[in-house]
């Protein structure tokens, strides 16, 4: 082997940034980097089936590990494939660094094969930092800047490496001359705190409220204890954004669960009745489920100043770390003696739990998807990691899954992209092979990326200390979430041609790949299926045949807002729509509505 190249230097720099694993896919555009990875033996290269999945894995890694995720792809088509995963990182504020190959700089501009203007392609998604290297000397500096920008702004960033730059001799690491810059890796997290007078002003707002609601998002992850303490002092109710669901134990009697269209009736009531709102580390977009503007005096805590006041008019914005800022508030707020609001919240939580239990036990054809997810409660191992794909399963996850304290769960929330489930689950597993993983997915999402990434699971599981990797597919042969959106938002009948999905024998497919699987069609077999899957000696697919007729009913909507669903179902006709009408009427009645016939 010849002299050290820029690619060798790049790979070393990744290790210097603490990167243990790079997710990607090969191509001649990135071959010098692949060669350097081979020579160095680290970071490990994880081959996905598709660059989109590799990018999702990098996002998943960032979410489970709370550190930067790295993805690697070739020029042209490989680069284009990364985009969706990078947008997932951007919209959910995750640090991801994409390293992308490019044709040799000597041909750029010639409309060469696979030549795409990559700076322009990534210009929007990696707006915080995207740069192509022209020279060897730039590369360590660009890598350092890309990681630092990704971490400092919690966003995806991108370094584009023409082929000739990758294979150029490594530059002098001690050059000290005009036009060359030496940089260094590393960015330790800092303490960020608001000013004392702002904390005092916020405490005053919260103290003077009589009906305080606290909404937690993913920014409150390290502040669970502080949220509980403050909620106790204020006699407040707590709700969570979708991303904030794993923050607090949902068994707490004053936790109303997730808010929003896919949230609980208790959260809807909390938002509707509160007079004061504290937002902690959340940027949840479901603003029509927030209090009405003007209804509540609001305080918001966020580590990113760009978010403050961005979802609800806020009286006191606090730029700071959630836990420490909350401690400042706790010190300034005495315990409220009047507990009547807290009692009202707790009653609404008990009522929601009754509603949820009843909804999950309603008979369906053949399985009720709510029952499928609920049957996992109490069975999730304490060290499990959960990944959720996008589709109606997010509703059932949000409303019905009880995460044991310390069990993380992640999904593509703000981009809400289908296909994240298996890649996230793989990233979770590869970072902690001794922990069991559970992936919840719809059949559409499984067909979109999941079936391909099941091949990755099959190729890797033999190396895992704990081989348990359970994928539960909610097989309804429907793009059900959108079918319900067609009915609710458009007042249109489901368009079967766009919504119907082919049936795939997911469990048999798993078996062909050397995994295990079972198709469940009888509700009586569900608990056994979960137990078998969580005790299996290898990855396991539960093909749960579920009813597409279970409504995705938003909580607490006045009759006129659900009339579209009734009209659409009546116009639709047929068995499924007939069952759906009955389920809709029953679920509305359990919320106390007597909708016009």
Query: Interface residues with Mg ion (CB under 5 A)?
Result: 442-444, 476, 478, 480
Residue sitting closest to ligand TPP (CB): 442
d(CA 322, CA 318): 9
Residue 481 makes contact with ligand TPP by CB under 6 A: yes
For the purposes of burial, counting CB atoms within 10 Å of the CB of 268, is it exposed (0-12), middle (13-18) or buried (19 or more)?
buried
Of the candidates 478, 488, 572, 587, which one interacts with ligand TPP according to CB under 6 A? 478
Residue 587 engages ligand TPP in binding (rule: CB under 6 A): no
Q: Is 73 in the site for ligand TPP (CB under 6 A)?
A: no
- 74: tokens are 């070739």
Whole-number minimum distance, CB 365 to Mg ion, in Å? 14
Task: Give the residue with the Cβ less far from ligand TPP, 270 or 482.
Answer: 482
Interface region with ligand TPP, contact rule CB under 6 A, candidates 333-341, 344-352, 432-440, 442-450: 442-450
Sites for ligand TPP among residues 271-300 (CB under 6 A): none
Measured CA to CA, the distance from residue 395 to residue 555 in angstroms comes to: 11
Which residue number, 226 or 481, has a Cβ lying nearer to ligand TPP?
Answer: 481
Residue 391 near ligand TPP by CB under 6 A: yes
Contact status: 80 vs ligand TPP (CB under 6 A): no
Q: Measure the CA–CA gap between 422 and 428, rounded to whole angstroms.
A: 10
Main-chain phi, psi angles of 52, to 5 degrees: -60, -45
d(CA 237, CA 346) in angstroms, rounded, equals: 8
In this chain, which of 71, 130, 247, 474 binds ligand TPP, going by CB under 6 A? 474
Pairwise CA distance, residues 501 & 498, whole Å = 8
Token pair in block for residue 459: 């190729």
Binding region for ligand TPP (CB under 6 A) out of 155-163, 417-425, 426-434, 526-534: 417-425
Residue 219 binds to ligand TPP (criterion: CB under 6 A): no
Confirm or reject binding of residue 416 to ligand TPP (CB under 6 A).
Answer: yes
Q: Does 248 bind ligand TPP (CB under 6 A)?
A: no
* Closest C-alpha among 212, 205, 203, 210 to residue 338: 210
Contact 33, 8 (CB under 8 A): no
Local structure of 257: helix, strand or coil: strand
Q: Which does 144 bind (CB under 5 to 8 A by kind): ligand TPP, Mg ion, none?
A: none
Q: Which is nearer to ligand TPP, 122 or 396 (CB)?
A: 396
Nearest residue to 128 via CA among 99, 103, 159, 100: 159
Decide: is 264 part of the binding site for ligand TPP (CB under 6 A).
Answer: no
Position 480 contacts ligand TPP (CB under 6 A): yes
What is the rounded distance in angstroms from the CA atom of residue 441 to the CA atom of residue 363? Answer: 21
396 vs 530 by CB, closer to ligand TPP: 396
- Over the Cα atoms of the chain, what is R_g? 25
Is residue 12 near ligand TPP by the rule CB under 6 A? no
**Distance (Å, rounded) from C-alpha 196 to C-alpha 212?**
22
Among 407, 479, 515, 545, the residue binding ligand TPP under the rule CB under 6 A is: 479
Is residue 192 within 8 A of residue 319, CB to CB? The reply is yes
Out of Mg ion, ligand TPP, none, what residue 417 binds, judged by CB under 5 to 8 A for its kind, is: ligand TPP
Give the whole-angstrom CA distance, residue 96 versus residue 107.
29
442 is a site residue for ligand TPP (CB under 6 A): yes
| 444-473: contacts with ligand TPP (CB under 6 A) | 444-445
Cis peptide before 459 (omega within 30 of 0): no
**Tokens describing residue 288:** 């029509």
Of 10-18, 151-159, 337-345, 438-446, the segment contacting ligand TPP by CB under 6 A is 438-446
Tokens standing for residue 546:
């579920």
Using rule CB under 6 A, residue 486 touches ligand TPP: no
Contact footprint for ligand TPP (CB under 6 A): 390-393, 416-419, 442-445, 474, 476, 478-482
């Amino acid at each position: 082997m010849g002299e050290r190249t820029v690619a060798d230097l790049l790979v070393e720099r990744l290790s210097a940034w603490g990167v243990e694993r790079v997710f990607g896919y090969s191509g001649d555009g990135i071959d010098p980097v692949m060669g350097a990875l081979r020579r160095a033996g680290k970071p490990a290269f994880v081959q996905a089936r598709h660059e989109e999945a590799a990018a999702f894995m990098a996002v998943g890694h960032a979410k489970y590990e709370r550190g930067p995720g790295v993805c690697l792809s070739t020029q042209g088509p490989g680069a284009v494939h990364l985009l969706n995963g990078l947008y997932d990182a951007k919209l959910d504020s995750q640090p991801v660094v994409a390293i992308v190959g490019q044709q040799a700089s000597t041909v750029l501009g010639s409309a060469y094969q696979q030549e795409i203007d990559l700076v322009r392609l990534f210009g929007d998604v990696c707006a915080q930092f995207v740069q192509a290297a022209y020279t060897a000397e730039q590369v360590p500096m660009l890598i350092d800047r890309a990681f630092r920008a990704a971490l400092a702004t919690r966003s995806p960033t991108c370094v584009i490496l023409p082929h000739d730059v990758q294979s150029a001799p490594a530059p002098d690491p001690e050059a000290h001359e005009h036009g060359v810059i030496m940089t260094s890796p590393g960015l330790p997290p800092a303490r960020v705190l608001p000013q004392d007078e702002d904390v005092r002003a916020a405490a005053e707002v919260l103290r003077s409220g009589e009906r305080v609601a606290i909404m937690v998002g993913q920014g409150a992850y390290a502040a669970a204890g502080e949220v509980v303490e403050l909620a106790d002092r204020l006699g407040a109710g707590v709700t969570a954004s979708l991303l904030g669901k794993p923050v607090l134990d949902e068994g707490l009697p004053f936790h109303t669960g997730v808010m929003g269209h896919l949230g609980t009736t208790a959260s809807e009531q909390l938002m509707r009745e509160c007079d004061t709102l504290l937002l902690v580390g959340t940027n949840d977009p479901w603003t029509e489920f927030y209090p009405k503007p003007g209804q509540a005096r609001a305080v918001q805590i966020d580590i990113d100043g760009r978010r403050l006041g961005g979802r609800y008019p806020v009286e006191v914005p606090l730029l700071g770390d959630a836990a420490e800022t909350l401690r400042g508030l706790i010190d300034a707020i005495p315990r409220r003696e009047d507990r009547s609001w807290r009692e009202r919240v707790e009653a609404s939580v008990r009522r929601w739990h009754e509603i949820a239990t009843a909804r999950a036990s309603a008979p369906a054809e053949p399985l009720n998807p709510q029952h499928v997810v609920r049957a996992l409660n109490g069975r999730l191992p304490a060290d499990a990691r959960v990944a959720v794909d996008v589709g109606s399963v997010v509703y059932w996850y949000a409303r019905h899954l009880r995460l044991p304290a310390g069990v993380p769960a992640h999904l593509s929330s703000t981009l809400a992209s289908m296909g994240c489930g298996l890649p996230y689950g793989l990233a979770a597993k590869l970072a902690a092979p001794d922990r069991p993983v559970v992936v919840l997915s719809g059949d559409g999402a499984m067909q979109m990326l999941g079936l391909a990434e099941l091949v990755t699971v099959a190729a890797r599981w033999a190396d895992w200390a704990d081989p348990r990797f359970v994928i539960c597919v909610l097989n309804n042969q429907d793009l059900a979430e959108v079918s319900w959106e067609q009915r609710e938002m458009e007042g249109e009948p489901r368009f079967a041609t766009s919504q119907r999905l082919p049936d795939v024998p997911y469990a048999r497919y798993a078996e062909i790949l050397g995994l295990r699987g079972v198709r469940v069609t009888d509700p009586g077999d569900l608990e056994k299926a979960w137990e078998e899957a969580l005790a299996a000696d290898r990855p396991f697919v539960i093909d749960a045949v579920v009813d597409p007729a279970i409504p995705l009913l938003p909580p607490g909507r006045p009759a006129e807002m659900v009339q579209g669903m009734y009209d659409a179902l009546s116009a639709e006709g047929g068995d499924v729509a007939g069952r759906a009408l009955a389920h809709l009427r029953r679920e509305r009645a359990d919320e106390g509505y007597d909708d016009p016939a």
